[in-house]
Amino acid sequence: MTGGPAGEVSEASTAYLVRLAGALVEEYRAEGFAVPASLAEAADGGLAFRPLLERYRAASGQLAGLLDSSFEAAAAYRSMEEFWADAAQQEQGLSPRTYWDSYENGRRRRAEQLAAAAFGSEQAVLVNAGMSALDVAVRASGARPGDTLLVHDRMYFETRDLLDALYLPWGLRTVPVDLRDAEAATAAIARHSPVLALAELALNGPRCDVPVLEPLRAAGIRTVLDCSALGHGTVPAELMAGPDTLYVESGMKYLTRAAGSGVLYGWGEWGEAARLCARRTGQQLQGRALHRIRPGEVAACRSRLALHSARRRRFVDTLERCWPDLVVTDARRAVADRQDLLARAVERGADGCMAFVALPEGAAADPEAAHRALVAEWAGAWEEPRIRAGFGWTLTTGRAYGRDPLNTALGECFTRISVGIEPEQQIDDLAAHLAQVARKATR
């Protein structure tokens, strides 16, 4: 199968890629490199989604290679006066050079300014990975041995591993509570007096837990919000913002698919402390990884999340229309009938790309084997590989979960679909085929 007709520049998915191609053309020019003819043609429009995507990816990788070839971990100067003058320019993002990459990099500062503006925060700090962002946020929070950290009773398994392996031995006590329950959260805050709270805005799992933020806001405690699942679909000014809030994000989800990265978004003293902590612990994003982050993708990330949301909703609707018996969950369904701040944001479109699909109970003798089989058959019908870990990919992918190392300790059996930003007809084809294969897996 291939899916989708050619053309349709006005179609939202293709228009988004044309926008990125235009931004990449400007980046080539700003860096002083010749614009590839294939990229210039892509930016002019008229290409179908897939060839446009391929040209954009090739040109992006080519630019990263060009930047790599001229990169120096430390620029050379003719005097200390020149050294310190340029260092001051780097700190403001006005010079692209670096006096020492693990300390200051003007290109990184410029990218951080763009990321902060795109997300809606005062500051941004680029680090090596999403877990680095979380680690830096906790380290910079001011928490001390003996203090209490309030967490959701279910969380991403690597977040739990980080807390248990690093901070529990250090003396930071965690108190789990169902953060979907406002009364339970309020009671836990009153009882345990936590100095810090950590919440994922949506759980990466079939229950898709979405916390209620009002008790954390009312208590005024410092709060780390992991927005990796929802990305720039969220608007911090509508949820929580200010000196007692840090958002953290895995950049490999929506900001870039070309390099590992993480971001902290913050305000005031805590944001500055996070920058200093990242530097002291060697977790700032380094030069050659930075070259893989495209400013155009960062600037347009909110548009990308709107596409993911619209496509995921269409995928789910098509899937259920084709086979209503499938058990399908997503962030939007997790907040049905709720009217709190985050629930309203999710309903408006801050609901990410993930849909979780499970076969009807009792439909398969071995649910794990059934899910693996259905994902394999679904993926095998398409030209490109469709089985992939992670989420936020441009093209729709899926993965079966069961009793494996990349699942929770519960060993639930389900399929996670990361719905991409393909044109609508391709989304319909992908969903309809998954429903067809799922029916077959239960016979």
CATH number, position 359: 3.90.1150.10
Residue 3 lies in a domain: no
How many domains does the chain contain in total? 3
CATH number of the domain bearing residue 265: 3.40.640.10
Answer with the one of 274, 298, 322 that is the final residue of a domain: 298
User: Is residue 95 domain-resident?
Assistant: no
Last residue of a domain, one of 298, 329, 347: 298
As a whole number, mean pLDDT of residues 276-302 equals 95
Query: Domain of 398?
Result: 303-441
Confidence of residue 158 (pLDDT cuts 50, 70, 90): confident
For position 230, what pLDDT does the model report? Answer: 97
What is the band of 408 on the pLDDT scale with cuts at 50, 70, 90?
low
Q: C-alpha angle 291/296/301, rounded to 5°?
A: 110
pLDDT at 434 exceeding the cut of 90: yes
CB 202 within 8 A of CB 230: yes
Q: What share of the chain is helix, strand, coil (3-state, %, to 5)?
A: 50, 15, 40
CA diameter of the chain: 77
Q: Do residues 192 and 205 share a domain?
A: yes
Nearest-CA neighbor of 358 among 348, 344, 368, 350? 368
Indicate if 310 and 412 belong to the same structural domain: yes
Q: 163 and 64 share a domain? A: no
Q: Is residue 100 part of a domain?
A: no
Instruction: Say yes or no: 345 and 281 in one domain.
Output: no
| pLDDT exceeds cutoff 60 at 175 | yes
The residues with which 265 forms a beta bridge, in sequence order, are 124, 247
Query: Is residue 17 within 8 Å of residue 397, measured between CB atoms?
Result: no
CB 175, CB 194: distance < 8 Å: yes
Q: Residues 65, 111: one domain? A: no
In this structure, is residue 391 part of a structural domain?
A: yes
The pair phi, psi for residue 203, each rounded to 5°, is -80, 135
1 in a structural domain: no
Are 207 and 227 in contact, with CB atoms under 8 Å apart? no
Q: Over the stretch 252-274, which tens digit does the pLDDT of each residue have?
A: 999 998 999 999 999 999 999 99
Averaged over 203-208, what is the pLDDT? 92
CA distance 61 to 286: 17
Residue 2 has pLDDT above 60, yes or no: no
| 284 and 205 assigned to the same domain | yes
Cβ atoms of residues 55 and 42 within 8 Å:
yes
- The DSSP-derived string for 111-123 is HHHHHHHHHT-SE
Rounded to whole angstroms, the Cα distance separating 91 from 106 reads 6
Are 338 and 283 in the same domain? Answer: no
Give the pairing of strands 123-127 and 148-152.
Answer: unpaired
Instruction: Single out the residue in 267, 298, 329 at which a domain terminates.
Output: 298
Nearest residue to 208 (alpha-carbon basis) of 4, 416, 21, 17:
416
Does residue 34 belong to any structural domain of this protein? yes
Please give the pLDDT value at position 297.
Answer: 97
Q: Could you give the CA distance from residue 164 to residue 172 in angstroms, rounded to a whole number?
A: 9
The answer to whether residue 113 is domain-embedded is yes
Residue 407 in this model has a pLDDT that exceeds 60: no
CB 363 within 8 A of CB 374: no
211 in a structural domain: yes
Q: Are residues 267 and 158 part of one domain?
A: yes
Residues 185 and 246 in one domain: yes
Same domain, 309 and 272: no
pLDDT at 139: 95
Cα(363)–Cα(366) distance, integer angstroms:
9
The residue to which tokens 């931004």 are assigned: 23
Whether residue 380 has pLDDT greater than 90 = yes
Give residue 404's pLDDT. Answer: 66
Are both 41 and 133 inside the same structural domain?
no
Q: Give me the chain's average pLDDT, please.
A: 93
Cα angle for residues 270, 272, 275 (degrees, 5° grid): 110
Same domain, 369 and 271: no
